[in-house]
Amino acid sequence: MLKGTISPPPPLSLTVPWKTDLPHEPKGPVKRPLIVITDNLFPHCDQEKEVLASLDCDLKILHSPGREELYNACHQARAILINMIEADRDFINNMPECRIISRYGVG
């Protein structure tokens, strides 16, 4: 049997060093992520705006864009929501920051 007192464990550290110490982290203000709705066919995007309102992001909504407008709008996008456009290899390769491509709609 042990005699005496047992000291409590040291407090846990809540720092997250990998969030700040990586060499590829931006040095300066961080841009808000951009989410693009590529081809909205409906008169409004109220539901999408409501769902995305809790995120700290910028939302860009396109209506029937041409290829050049589409490429320019999506180049810096972190996520895109697609309804009917074709997401081919060139389109996807044009978006180096994109992490999510979601096709959505009714049907």
pLDDT tens figures, 37-68: 998 888 888 888 888 888 888 999 998 889 99
Q: Show the tokens assigned to 44.
A: 């409004």
pTM of this prediction exceeds 0.75: no
Q: Which phi and psi (to 5°) does residue 47 adopt?
A: -65, -40
**Rounded Cα gap, residues 8 and 6, in angstroms:** 6
Total H helices, total E strands in the chain:
4, 4
| Mean pLDDT of all residues belonging to the chain | 80
Q: Which residue has the higher pLDDT, 2 or 13?
A: 2
Q: Which residue has the higher pLDDT, 11 or 102?
A: 102
* 24: pLDDT strictly greater than 60: no
**Rounded Cα gap, residues 36 and 47, in angstroms:** 14
**Rounded Cα gap, residues 88 and 105, in angstroms:** 19
Q: Which residue has the higher pLDDT, 16 or 84?
A: 84
